[in-house]
Amino acid sequence: MVGVKMAAAAAASIRERQTVALKRMLNFNVPHVKNSTGEPVWKVLIYDRFGQDIISPLLSVKELRDMGITLHLLLHSDRDPIPDVPAVYFVMPSEENIDRMCQDLRNQLYESYYLNFISAISRSKLEDIANAALAASAVAQVAKVFDQYLNFITLEDDMFVLCNQNKELVSYRAINRPDITDTEMETVMDTIVDSLFCFFVTLGAVPIIRCSRGTAAEMVAVKLDKKLRENLRDARNSLFTGDTLGAGQFSFQRPLLVLVDRNIDLATPLHHTWTYQALVHDVLDFHLNRVNLEESSGVENSPAGARPKRKNKKSYDLTPVDKFWQKHKGSPFPEVAESVQQELESYRAQEDEVKRLKSIMGLEGEDEGAISMLSDNTAKLTSAVSSLPELLEKKRLIDLHTNVATAVLEHIKARKLDVYFEYEEKIMSKTTLDKSLLDIISDPDAGTPEDKMRLFLIYYISAQQAPSEADLEQYKKALTDAGCNLNPLQYIKQWKAFAKMASAPASYGNTTTKSMGLLSRVMNTGSQFVMEGVKNLVLKQQNLPVTRILDNLMEMKSNPETDDYRYFDPKMLRGNDSSVPRNKNPFQEAIVFVVGGGNYIEYQNLVDYIKGKQGKHILYGCSELFNATQFIKQVKCVFHLLLLTYPKLL
């Protein structure tokens, strides 16, 4: 029985696991059972912004309702007392949160309190609450106190980010700031490690950790190893005993955690992309699985388009329930546009069917004979009526994707993103360009200054030999003329120089060419409908640097790039500092975690990579999820700080 349960649990994705954990928490920390005739139980949910970010991608408001949540309120908002209801709290154990909870206890806001902390609460803070509860003589009302270890945000079945609220704290900028003090760095690392620790508690597995030397990733690895080790040693309170040991017996395999530093590959986050999800993230406001659109009603082909243009904000949730999204988020954009069209046609056919039925029923025409017809068509009518909600849901999804895809397409057309994508692919694969880089940069119609900067940076990063000073000056002038801020270029220059000096760079230039060897097949036959004027580019699968590192480590391949990666096994009694792995078998499960920020391009690349491998799983995580714009902003900022610290750099 236990075995079956654990086997099932091992197969569950991190998304399911976190959802189950949340549901159990909402059910007063008792496993949630679905029951058709159970008595209704109700409660209110109080969360802080962290809790909100964790819950919102996983549970919809309707699902919360089904769990008996009547109200969900932010901790730091005006809340009215509801004296006859139990309250479930889901908050970070921060100073101000604790204060507010104590205040709630004093004010006797609710009938009883189920306190859940996103990550472990310290003893002294627990005593603060105890003190407040005593003072308010509300000790008995505090029904349950739990450490939930859920301090990470799951966005997909196989993707997570650390946090959203204080992401500046663990951003690329924060890690690469030249003026960072040791204590500040400690805080950054502790925050990352705490979240990663929560992640592994929820995953229920102790990983084997690999990381590159001399990077921020190594610091994370050392700290995480220490934290896991301490928890395992304390057998009585260990979070990995019991159930998880059972899991180990059944899978025999521990997952591999590959900690990667953002600085090993700066080109990918700048790359213009061509897959649906990554494009949405690149050009639209896409945040925690919700996309915010600003659309003018004139865009649609409906009669409403006749009205004067008016901007209205709309937000859509792109959830795993959305079949279309699930199927196409990794598809190249032209394919997506085509599929939207197909879906629309099949929907129209269904709609016509319903309409036809309506006219048969005589509901539109004459009344005579309607009654006799009615009896012949009751069965049809019933099926039509019962299929209506499904049809409506389908329509909603089609509308959603039509709007999103249209918005993306507008950006592609306006900024000539297809040209950029094609060019960058060519640069990376060292194919000869049919138009010089300077031409694009100085073409006023092609893209924003930022697009130009991204293109040039990729060229600069992946060039084996830096362009001559004279050439560089020419490029710089063109970029400045195009309205670019040159700070990012300066930073990349410094970074490249540093990377050459650092230990592993010998193979960098070489591998970059290989890794970036994304061959693009250009099909100049433009699609017939919406895609006119946009090239129909099809991706060819090539592994990005991160994927290549993972491949080496997971398959135990020897490669100069990854051979000196450090090896940690928190289960081994004594920490060994060698980079020689004890385990020579290939791994079945791996987690890639990018310290310093990740993106959907890498995620998609990993997903595509693992598709070809039977029975293997990959999870992708990052300290922060950014698109090129946000990344460039951070790079600018780091360079600015760098200048302040070392003024003679320029």
Partner 1 sequence: MAAEAGTFLLASPLAGGGVRNRNGPPAAGLGPRSPAADVGRPGAGRRGCGSPRVRVAMAVDITLLFRASVKTVKTRNKALGVAVGGGVDGSRDELFRRSPRPKGDFSSRAREVISHIGKLRDFLLEHRKDYINAYSHIMSEYGKMTDTERDQIDQDAQTFMRTCSEAIQQLRAQAHKEIHSQQVKEHRSAVLDFIEDYLKRVCKLYSEQRAIRVKRVVDKKRLSKLEPEPNTKTKESMFSEKVSQNPSKDSEEKPITEEYPEKIPAEAQPELGSWGDGRGEDELSPEEIQMFEQENQRLIGEMNSLFDEVRQIEGKVVEISRLQEIFTEKVLQQEAEIDSIHQLVVGATENIKEGNEDIREEEGPTKAKVPRPQGPAFFRLWNPRWPADVLRRAGRSHFGVSLAQ
**DSSP secondary structure string, 110-168?**
SSEEEEEESSPPPHHHHHHHHHHHHHTT-TTTEEEEEE----SEEEETTEEES-STTGG
Residue 378 in contact with partner 1, rule: CB under 8 A: yes
Length of the chain: 650
Judged by CB under 8 A, the residue of 82, 180, 284, 344 near partner 1 is: 82
Give the contacts of 580 (CB within 8 A, at least 6 positions apart).
567
Which residues are 91's β-sheet partners? Answer: 117
Judged by CB under 8 A, the residue of 12, 74, 142, 169 near partner 1 is: 142
Residue 121 in contact with partner 1, rule: CB under 8 A: yes
Task: Enumerate residues 52-71 that contact partner 1 by CB under 8 A.
Answer: 65, 68, 70-71
Judged by CB under 8 A, the residue of 13, 94, 141, 387 near partner 1 is: 141
Task: Enumerate residues 492-551 that contact partner 1 by CB under 8 A.
Answer: none
Residue 220 CB, nearest approach to partner 1 (Å):
22
Residue 81 CB, nearest approach to partner 1 (Å):
8
Q: How far is residue 427's CA from residue 267's CA, in Å, rounded to a whole number?
A: 11
Q: State residue 619 phi and psi, 5-degree precision.
A: -115, 140
Judged by CB under 8 A, the residue of 16, 63, 157, 243 near partner 1 is: 243
Judged by CB under 8 A, the residue of 10, 14, 21, 607 near partner 1 is: 21
| Buried b or exposed e, range 574-597, using 16+ CB within 10 angstroms | eeeeeeeeeeeeebbbbbbbbbbb
Which stretch in 37-45, 361-369, 536-544, 565-573 sits in contact with partner 1 by CB under 8 A?
37-45
Residue 385 in contact with partner 1, rule: CB under 8 A: yes
Q: How far is residue 587's CA from residue 606's CA, in Å, rounded to a whole number?
A: 15
Q: How far is residue 170's CA from residue 626's CA, in Å, rounded to a whole number?
A: 12
Residue (of 592, 650, 602) closest to 626 by Cα position: 602
Which stretch in 114-122, 356-364, 536-544, 607-615 sits in contact with partner 1 by CB under 8 A?
114-122
Residue 108 in contact with partner 1, rule: CB under 8 A: yes
Judged by CB under 8 A, the residue of 1, 4, 62, 83 near partner 1 is: 83
Judged by CB under 8 A, the residue of 88, 91, 133, 553 near partner 1 is: 133
- In the complex with partner 1, the residue whose CB is nearer, 25 or 412, is 25
- In the complex with partner 1, the residue whose CB is nearer, 191 or 202, is 202
Task: Enumerate residues 191-230 that contact partner 1 by CB under 8 A.
Answer: 201-202, 204
**Cα 34 vs. chain centroid, distance in angstroms?**
29
**DSSP secondary structure string, 164-229?**
STTGGGGSHHHHH-TT--HHHHHHHHHHHHHHHHHHHHHHT-PPEEEE-TTSHHHHHHHHHHHHHH
Contact between 620 and 268 under an 8 Å Cβ cutoff? The reply is: no
Judged by CB under 8 A, the residue of 1, 35, 436, 578 near partner 1 is: 35
Which stretch in 115-123, 152-160, 315-323, 523-531 sits in contact with partner 1 by CB under 8 A?
115-123
Contact between 47 and 91 under an 8 Å Cβ cutoff? The reply is: yes
Say how many residues touch partner 1, by CB under 8 A.
76
- In the complex with partner 1, the residue whose CB is nearer, 148 or 341, is 148
Residue 591 in contact with partner 1, rule: CB under 8 A: no
Q: H helices of 305-448, where?
A: 323-328, 333-360, 370-415, 417-429, 437-442
- Longest Cα–Cα distance of the chain, Å, equals 93
Which stretch in 29-37, 152-160, 402-410, 552-560 sits in contact with partner 1 by CB under 8 A?
29-37
- In the complex with partner 1, the residue whose CB is nearer, 52 or 273, is 52
